[in-house]
Structure formats: structure tokens, C-alpha cells
Structure 1
């Protein structure tokens, strides 16, 4: 029974991975059910029972999430092109669906996103993915490295995670103005609190970009800092896991650390993103490394 369940879940994971990779394609029921080798006459009920969303609804949300990221982050892409990429035949239909879901028009969201309803709207999608789209790690997935100190520019986020999107938007605008692209200047996130603290206002994280260029003393958005070098346990996360590194952090603290004989150093756990963020690259190509500082 256990082996049969694992096989079933693996087939469903293939479906979500296929959808991630083909958001621009024709994701009809026959194509999607064929990936899992399930009958199309039963697949939609199996999918809904597993993920709590219909296949059609899941694809809609995945496309809309990518579209909203593109609106907020990629100024060069027009609203019309984003609407077409999201599967809408006309910008007006996209605008109506977008306003109904987020309470803003696409153009208004592009200028000033309201991230609280955005987070609420994609709760069902995140819940669906969290059921099966996770990686099981082993001790062999962790390496211990001596890493050099890294000079960074730091933008602090303090307060409810619901406003984190606004901080990222300011961070992306600042780094773009400073000429620090993700391809040449890595992105770091220093996690100074739990991902979901008991008091939402206690959430704390630093968003950083690797750079040794001087930071103006009167720059109120960022400050210069250094991520200290030293020994670190490093776990590589792929397939979009860098959108939520809590499972990786739990593995390092709960499973790897007690059995390793190592002791942690007095600096927070942090991550390094390679290359670009979603939606600049597809979700399945996003890669991050998580660093647990050791003595």
C-alpha cells in the first residue's frame, strides 16, 4: 500500500511539474492526464481530491501568479502581452479577471501593488503545491564549505509578511537603478525570525545584493554590510523551492544538525539565489542555496 501511494503521488507531482514547464502551452485535460498516465475521464476528480482545486482552476491561478509577477517586475512587457501569456484572448477579459481577484486593475497593480489580497488570492495555489511538491533530503544533500565574507547592500524588512512584496519591489527598483543585475550580483536573504512568527509584526528579514560599491551615507533605503565568512552547512534547493525555504531550514535544524555533531555559529541562517527570480525564469528553474553558519 505504501509503495502504491508513493507511486500515485509521484505521478501527481509529474503533473504539477509539467504544468510549471508548459504554462504557455495548451494544457488541456487529455495532455495533462496523459502525463500521469491516468484516464482523462477520472483524472479531474483525482486531481481535485488530491489538491483541493480543479485542474482548470489550478492552471488559471498558476498563470495569473506569473502574470502578476511580470506586471510588478518587468516594465518592458506590455499588459496586452502579459494577458495573452496568461491565456486570455483580450486584455479586457484579463483586466476583469485580475480586478475581481485582486481588487486592482493590472495597470494599477503595476504602479502600486496591494500585496495583502494578492497573498490571500494565491493561498489555495500554495496549499495545493505544499501537499506534494516538496523534496525529501538526506545527509548526502548537505555539504560543509568554507565560504568567504561577502560585502552586500542591505534592505531591511521589519513587520508583517503581508507587506514583504512592497519591500521586494523597492529592492528590485533600487538594484536596477544601481546597475546590479541578478546575473552578475547574487541575491541573499538573511532570515532573522521564524517564517510565520506568533506575532505577525515580529517578522524580520534582510534582503541583500552582493556588491562592494560604496553606499551613499544619505541612502535611506539600503545600508552597507557584510555576510561573514566561515564554515557553513549548505543545502541546495531547486524546483521553485526557494519561494519557501522553510522545509529546507527545518531539515537542517531538525534532522541534519543533531546528527552531525556540529554547533551553529552566531549568525542567522541565510540563502543565496543564483541567476534570476521567478518570473524571469520559470519556477522549476529557480535555484537557491541555504547556508547554516557553523563554528
Structure 2
């Protein structure tokens, strides 16, 4: 490290001679300039412009996420049966079936016996927790039910003015730590939990050994800049234990897939809070039993995997009808 240069400055130095693969987190010996001869040889000017644009976007995202090593980072995994940035048909199916009855909702509520001592579940409202005003403390609570299979959705209601510096929602197993000194994003700190900090707009898993990543990602042109006010009071947690991913949504927008690689675990809803007297509610929206994917979805996933994530834009060049092209692009 150069004299007077901070670790933060060192972390953002990127050697132009190497490219960091956004999807694997690994470096290669090929830099951006090594693609230029290939691009120059393209006869079609539109193809050239599109390739350059996609390449630059990949490199920029690669640099931003080059330190990510977490196995839960979505880019480290195979594609899903649906577009990561779009809700699955199972979410629509679940929301159309209506809310469960009150008894079922309370069965999936906060667990008053599985919490930090600085948190209690309100007697007159078993769906809502209250955190005591304890300084320099981060406190968590788990839900009553852990999920190992099926498709599940619950809604978290967390007032904007009761979030403080660290407000984290997500899932964790039965070993997840429920209290720590100081203010931090405790959910996602170890390999036992997966947390989305709705203040910092970052996802964490095993953060003591790996860095978090920005979420939700702003990768589409014309999108408004994402800030903490974009996460409203109500946010939906979407857990698919059959495909092994977790996603988030608001009443207005699907935020995308935040974590992958969750199969084979038993995971509970969980939050960590630092704001004194904050009150956070959970409402179970329902679940769907495991079911095999449709044959059409299997075929699409197979074709997209064969093309590869880095070349998926080339699906437009396939000699197939426009309807199939649109299908492969989840349109």
C-alpha cells in the first residue's frame, strides 16, 4: 500500500490489464482492450455498438462486485426458471389465492421465545415486535416456522422513521446469533443467515469473510436512482426453497432476486434492529407446495444455460421465430 493511501482507496483500484468476471467473481488475463480486435472485425455496425455497450456494462458491474465471494451472491449461480428481475408465476398464483386465515397468520408470526432479550412481542398484537431503547445494541427475533421446501411469502411492515442506521430483514437458521454489541447489520454477518439492509441497500451473507453487494441493482437505462426512501414501510419477502432463492418486492415494484443457493436448509424469517421503541410487524401471505417445473420452463433454462450468461444478448441472432426469441427473453 502506498504511503498515505487508505485501505478503502486500495479496494477501489482496478488494474486495466485484467477483467473481473461479474458472474464468477474471478479475474482473467483478458482486459477490456483485448476485446477490441474482435469488435473491430464485426461487419455489422449495430452489432458492434450493442456488443460494446454490453461489454462496458458487464465490466462496470464486475468492478463494482469484484470483491464478492459469498456463495449466496446470485451471479455465482445458474439461472432460474424465470428472469431474476421479474416475479415468477408462482408469486402471482399465491397472491391471487388470498390471505390465509388469522390462525395460520399467527402460526407464522414472531416467536416470543426466540429473540434477543431487548425485544418482546406485543401481547395485544402477536404479529408485532417492540424493541427496547437499549444503546449500542443490535437485536434480532426469529419467526415461529422454518421453511425447508415450498414457496412462501410474508410481508414486513417497518416504519421509515424507526429504522436507524441498520435495519435488516431476511432469513436465518436456528443457529443465527440474535444479539450483538454496537450497531451493525447482524443478519448476514455469519454463514447462518442472509440479510438485506433496507437502509444501506446492501445484501450480506457471511459478511465477516466476504463483502456485501448492492441491492436492488440499477442496471436498466432510464431507471431512477435507487435510494433508501425507495424501500417503503411494507416490503414482501419471497422465499422459494424449491429453487433455493430469496427475493424482495414492494406493492409497486419487484426488486429482484437477492440470494441464491438456499436449498437444503431450514430457514426462518428474521430481522435485526437498532432503533429504540421501533415496532416491526410480520404477516404471512401464504405458501405453495413443491411442484415440478413446466417442460417449457426447463427447455428455456437449458437453452439459456447453453448460450451462457455473458452471451445471452446473442439470443437475438438465433435463426428462430420472433415468438421463440421473446420466450427465451422472458417476454
> Per the shorter chain, which TM-score range?
under 0.3
TM-score by length of 2: 0.25
- Using CA pairs under 8 Å that are at least 6 residues apart, name the structure with larger relative contact order, 1 or 2: 2
Q: Tell me which protein shows more strand as a share of its residues.
A: 2
TM-score by length of 1: 0.27
Q: Tell me which protein shows more helix as a share of its residues.
A: 1
